[in-house]
Structure 1
Amino acid sequence: MADCLSFRSTGYFSDLISDYIEQNQDLKPFYNRFPSIDSFKDQITEKQKGYDNDNRKVLVEVLKEQYQTLSSSEDTKSHIESLQEPSTFTVTTGHQLNLFTGPLYFLYKIVSTLNLAKSLKENYPDFNFVPVYWMATEDHDFEEINYFNFQQKKLEWKTNAEGAVGHLSTAGLDELSKSIETEFGKSDNAEYLKNLFKEAYLNHETLAEATQFLANELFGDYGLVILDADDARLKSKFGKQIKNDLVYHTAFRQIEKQSDKLSKLGYSVQVNPREINLFYLHEKTRSRIVQKDENYYVLDTDLKFTKAEVLELVDQHPERFSPNVVLRPLYQEVILPNLAYIGGGGELAYWLELKSYFEAEQVTFPSLVLRNSVLLYSDKTSSKLNTLNAKIQDLFLSPDKLEAMHTKKLSKIDIDFGKQKQVLEKQFEDLYELAKNTDKSFYGAVAAQEKKQKNGLDHLEKRLLKAQKRRLKSENELVLKIQTVLFPKRSLQERSLNFSEIYIDYGARLIPKLMEELDPFQMKFLCLELTIYNKKH
């Protein structure tokens, strides 16, 4: 069973994203085409004209090399081969190399991408559509990815990390694997997860290889193609744009204008560009490149280049130039025959700053698809809510508002004094008629008295609500306890829980169920009930 809410009504999404989903006219200049099945016809045509098909050969060469050690499905192999054809396009999501996938929404991103590719194939059978997971192997924010949560515990990988996270050695993760042995328990589903963790992290040398294996194990049967774009051959195809950033600061000039326009519309700016949006990436170094006078420097190092030297380095070693958050989207769209980017609210917010930059670089701007968001809850939880006369949608309220609403639902006394206020207003209508025939001071006295009596009713209503809350304390506590479980730390479940916590109970049915229920064109927040069982030894 599934219920849907608008993203705005959940209270967990920004006005910018809610307005985008609702196609607010003010935002139209900030994107290319709003994602609908029909709009992809023109998106395909535009990308066909703007994409350099010479990039396909390099892309396929790199992918085949990266898949040499993986056991890939026939669908994935077919997708990689098809990328050589001008009639093949990609739909892409990107994500950090979070330990054991990190928060639940990792799954939702990829399922949204898989289902979008499937839907496009059904509607445009003359073309092929490849779902791509772009691994953020060049990030260096280790503290953001070195843990996952399981049953309110933080399972953390402690190591000294330097440089790009994709290069990190997995040595030392055997200690965390031992902790997982205890935490996950001994059910069949737990044994599968423990073995999956070991195979991914103890049998692969780097975090990039481990993450690729893990994503392939979970989604390879659906034809997912996983790409590590930290490759000299791919970056050589991005050399022109790297040089534009170094010399002309194209991103900085264009994105600042867009950001100012968004700010004037009342929206918060997600990212701020720098004059140079590149890092120097080599061995264990990933440090910002800055320009001073006519020279280029790598921060926190002794490296220094003249303009001629840095431009020659782009030609000789393009792999040493790592795009930051505002340049990475352009890199993706240059090397992939991509039609759409599937991301979360925060990601789409910064993509909305980028359109004029893409235009300046003459690169097709992709359709921006908000990934599916889901609240998963068990049939047992559903039964408890029914017993308590509560709905799953009620739990999106703040605890105070939830308790007030639930009290009013359960109370045998009508706590709403709306009728009394209507009677009061009717009584004062006669007094206002009388006041019209007297002076202004009397009219003011009537208005003041009405306000005083309405305030009195409001006060009594609050007192009555407070009294009923005390009487219904135990029932309210049950509802609030369910809310606390489903909204850990008063945040969305998908931003905190790891998939393992759901998989322990639901097992191998989890991903097929998500594939069945998640529709990237629905653009609603999904509340999905799961029937739970847990088979133990």
Structure 2
Amino acid sequence: MKRITVNRRETSYFSALANQINDNQNAISKYIQAPFNLENFESQIALKSASYSTAQRSLLHTVLTQQMTPYKNYNKVAQNLELLKDKNTFTITSGHQLNLFGGPLYVIYKIMDAIRLSEKLAEKYPDQNFVPLFWLATEDHDFAEINHLELFHDKISWESQQEGPVGRFSLEGMDGVKTEILAKFENNPDFAEFLDQFYTKGNLAEATTELMMRLFGEYGLIVLDADNSDLKATFSPLMKKELESNFSEKEVLKTTEKLEEDGFHGQAMARPVNLFYIKDQLRERIIPTENGDFEIGEKTISKEDLLKELEAYPARFSPNVVLRPLYQEFILPNLCYLGGGGEMAYWLQFKGMFDQTDVPFPIIKVRNSVQWFDKSTNKKIEKLNLDYKDVFESIHEVKKQYVLDHAEVELDFSALEEKSAALMEELQLLISSLDKGLAAYGKSESTKVQKQVDGVKQKLIRHSKKKNEDAMKQIDGIYKRLFPYNGLQERSENMIPYLGKYGPKEFVGMVYDLIDSEENDLILVIEE
């Protein structure tokens, strides 16, 4: 196994803003608290220490102890839970939706990035403690986004009529999904047995926690389901502020406008009220009306009554994508949030909202990205005499270059292009010398001739490609394997095949060795 890297900016798989957040946060300093580097955590620790109360810490410890009780057999988990009572303990957080059976590969990468960063910070700041924490997006309601997975090119879906926050869903109907998944691993009975123990009891949030803890428990990961009435109660003053003043939308719109002036686009859309109302299987937007009341689904409620309900039943109120980061940073002693480039881009819209509260904006970080080159793909690359970094060019460029490099008659057009350019110039000069008014005509005719020359070149390349048809198919196979749906494999490939191929513990251990929280480049893993 060999690890090499390639500059993210030399690929087409990351946006300009994601690259900026990844390797040049100084250029976006007005949208963040402080650029990501280990030295800046000293001031972030002081900032968080001053704002995070003993009562908040005590409550978080109580809730997490209750949720993590089944996993105290992992020594590091038990130790981290105990450390969370200490005022010198801080979290490093990542989070994700409740995808079936773990979700795409990058979920493993982002969790491990949080684990590795916690370890680096512990070395640099030995007087403090750092706990990796995974935030479950249990209050999401878009079931269609998470009710399926793709496995060996087949889509496996969980059909359910349940509604509301997905974390509360029972596992009814999951047996059929598991049967389809296990059938894919008939030739790997040990791994099938491993998978079969999950998604058997509890709700979707508890089932997801169980899988994540099995994979990362020995590394001390703490998993939090923040759909909790006690945690919501402490956050209720800020939810009340939202209902009374719509403060989040105002600030997010201001910041988004500045981002757009700087050439970037906002990722998250703020609403007048960035809260949902949840009850049983209901999850509806809270929409203010012109007369000061609120619409929730088909019902209308007065502001006075809604505020009374917030005070009595805070668990019925759910922060959406805009307010969720504020809720997260309010209830956690958190220093840093890390995620994918797109995910981190919308955090840039939120600094102004944070500034309207006493909650510090965290240091933000783009997680490591990893591209896996399996043995079969590597053999094709080596057979074609390609470099591993070549494949981050467009497939058309790679094919074209291969044809040029392997033509029976060398297709070197440099001399032709040089003579063609000289001919076009001479032709235009001749026409202009006869009549300057014909300059435009001369340029037009030169363009026509140049197009004819280009047409001959393209025809020769196509003819040569046909003679290299097998190589072209090999290149197609390389790109299909490495870039499913024209994107990095980490975004679409489920983690299950990798856990099955190497073994769950072994694969997670390999990722542990690959991830480096200070790495800015795309990591390539070359199987040998």
TM-score, length-normalised on structure 2? 0.93
Q: Is the 8 A contact 2:25 2:36 kept in 1?
A: no
Alpha-carbon separation, structure 2, partners of 1:445 and 1:286: 67
Report Cα offsets for 1:183-241 as digits up to 9, x if no partner: 12232xx533x333332211x22111100100000001101000011111111221111
The reply to whether residue 284 of structure 1 matches residue 285 of structure 2 is no
Q: Please state whether the residue corresponding to 1:238 is helix, strand or coil.
A: helix
Alpha-carbon separation, structure 2, partners of 1:405 and 1:527: 23
The reply to whether residue 485 of structure 1 matches residue 481 of structure 2 is yes
**Deviation at 1:422?**
3.3
Report Cα offsets for 1:422-458 as digits up to 9, x if no partner: 3555677788999998864587777667655544443
**Deviation at 1:172?**
2.2
Q: Please state whether the residue corresponding to 2:70 is helix, strand or coil.
A: coil
Q: Is the 8 A contact 2:141 2:164 kept in 1?
A: yes
Alpha-carbon separation, structure 2, partners of 1:39 and 1:409: 49
Match of 1:523 in 2: 520
Q: Please state whether the residue corresponding to 1:358 is helix, strand or coil.
A: helix
Pick which of 145-154 and 321-330 moved more.
Answer: 145-154
Match of 2:510 in 1: 513
The reply to whether residue 344 of structure 1 matches residue 343 of structure 2 is no
Aligned pair in 2 of structure 1 residues 453, 431: CA closer, same or farther (>3 Å)?
A: closer
Match of 1:359 in 2: 355
Aligned pair in 2 of structure 1 residues 183, 432: CA closer, same or farther (>3 Å)?
A: closer
Alpha-carbon separation, structure 2, partners of 1:368 and 1:89: 15
Letter in 1 for 2:190: E
Q: Give every structure 1 segment of 4 or more consecutive aligned residues whose post-TM-superposition deviation is greater than 6 Å.
A: 427-439, 442-446
1:402 is aligned, of 377, 380, 398, to 398
Q: Is the 8 A contact 1:407 1:476 kept in 2?
A: no
1:392-431 equivalences under 5 Å are: 392-425=388-421
1:225 is aligned, of 202, 222, 237, to 222
Alpha-carbon separation, structure 2, partners of 1:269 and 1:216: 34
RMSD: 2.4
Pick which of 373-382 and 324-333 moved more.
Answer: 373-382
Match of 2:137 in 1: 136
Match of 1:199 in 2: 197
The reply to whether residue 328 of structure 1 matches residue 324 of structure 2 is yes
1:274 is aligned, of 268, 271, 275, to 271
Letter in 1 for 2:521: K
Aligned pair in 2 of structure 1 residues 472, 30: CA closer, same or farther (>3 Å)?
A: same
1:121-132 equivalences under 5 Å are: 121-132=122-133
Match of 1:309 in 2: 305
The reply to whether residue 118 of structure 1 matches residue 107 of structure 2 is no
Letter in 2 for 1:107: I
Q: Is the 8 A contact 2:276 2:283 kept in 1?
A: yes
The reply to whether residue 76 of structure 1 matches residue 56 of structure 2 is no
Q: How many pairs were matched up?
A: 525
Aligned pair in 2 of structure 1 residues 93, 453: CA closer, same or farther (>3 Å)?
A: same
1:318 is aligned, of 314, 318, 323, to 314
Aligned pair in 2 of structure 1 residues 25, 213: CA closer, same or farther (>3 Å)?
A: closer
Aligned pair in 2 of structure 1 residues 416, 268: CA closer, same or farther (>3 Å)?
A: farther
Letter in 2 for 1:366: P
Alpha-carbon separation, structure 2, partners of 1:392 and 1:220: 34
Alpha-carbon separation, structure 2, partners of 1:462 and 1:52: 69
Pick which of 414-423 and 78-87 moved more.
Answer: 414-423
Alpha-carbon separation, structure 2, partners of 1:83 and 1:221: 17
**Deviation at 1:103?**
1.2
Alpha-carbon separation, structure 1, partners of 2:322 and 2:42: 27
Letter in 1 for 2:295: Y
Letter in 2 for 1:134: W
Q: Please state whether the residue corresponding to 2:196 is helix, strand or coil.
A: helix
Alpha-carbon separation, structure 2, partners of 1:227 and 1:99: 17
Match of 1:535 in 2: none
Match of 2:12 in 1: 11
Q: Please state whether the residue corresponding to 1:149 is helix, strand or coil.
A: strand
Match of 1:295 in 2: 293
Alpha-carbon separation, structure 2, partners of 1:32 and 1:398: 37
Report Cα offsets for 1:250-307 as digits up to 9, x if no partner: 101000111122223332221111111111122211111122223233214x4x4332
Structure 2 residues not aligned, in runs of 5+: none
Pick which of 210-219 and 439-448 moved more.
Answer: 439-448
Letter in 2 for 1:82: L
Q: Please state whether the residue corresponding to 1:67 is helix, strand or coil.
A: helix
Alpha-carbon separation, structure 1, partners of 2:485 and 2:432: 56
Match of 2:472 in 1: 476
1:236-255 equivalences under 5 Å are: 236-255=233-252
Match of 1:208 in 2: 205
Aligned pair in 2 of structure 1 residues 409, 19: CA closer, same or farther (>3 Å)?
A: farther
Alpha-carbon separation, structure 2, partners of 1:298 and 1:436: 74
Alpha-carbon separation, structure 2, partners of 1:206 and 1:58: 23
Q: Please state whether the residue corresponding to 1:528 is helix, strand or coil.
A: strand
Match of 1:45 in 2: 46
Aligned pair in 2 of structure 1 residues 113, 410: CA closer, same or farther (>3 Å)?
A: farther
Match of 2:149 in 1: 148
**Deviation at 1:243?**
0.7
Aligned pair in 2 of structure 1 residues 420, 171: CA closer, same or farther (>3 Å)?
A: same
Alpha-carbon separation, structure 2, partners of 1:411 and 1:46: 64
**Deviation at 1:26?**
5.4
Alpha-carbon separation, structure 2, partners of 1:147 and 1:475: 35
Q: Please state whether the residue corresponding to 2:197 is helix, strand or coil.
A: helix
Q: Please state whether the residue corresponding to 2:28 is helix, strand or coil.
A: helix
Letter in 1 for 2:241: N
Report Cα offsets for 1:36-64 as digits up to 9, x if no partner: 12222222222222323321100000001
Letter in 1 for 2:389: Q
Q: Is the 8 A contact 1:416 1:461 kept in 2?
A: no
Aligned pair in 2 of structure 1 residues 243, 160: CA closer, same or farther (>3 Å)?
A: same
TM-score, length-normalised on structure 1? 0.91
Aligned pair in 2 of structure 1 residues 107, 431: CA closer, same or farther (>3 Å)?
A: same
Q: Please state whether the residue corresponding to 1:105 is helix, strand or coil.
A: helix
Structure 1 residues not aligned, in runs of 5+: 532-537
Q: Is the 8 A contact 2:132 2:221 kept in 1?
A: yes
Letter in 2 for 1:393: K
**Deviation at 1:6?**
2.5
Aligned pair in 2 of structure 1 residues 267, 388: CA closer, same or farther (>3 Å)?
A: same
Q: Please state whether the residue corresponding to 1:61 is helix, strand or coil.
A: helix
> Identity of counterpart residues, as a percentage?
33
**Deviation at 1:166?**
0.8
Letter in 2 for 1:225: I
**Deviation at 1:319?**
1.1
Letter in 1 for 2:493: L
**Deviation at 1:519?**
1.3
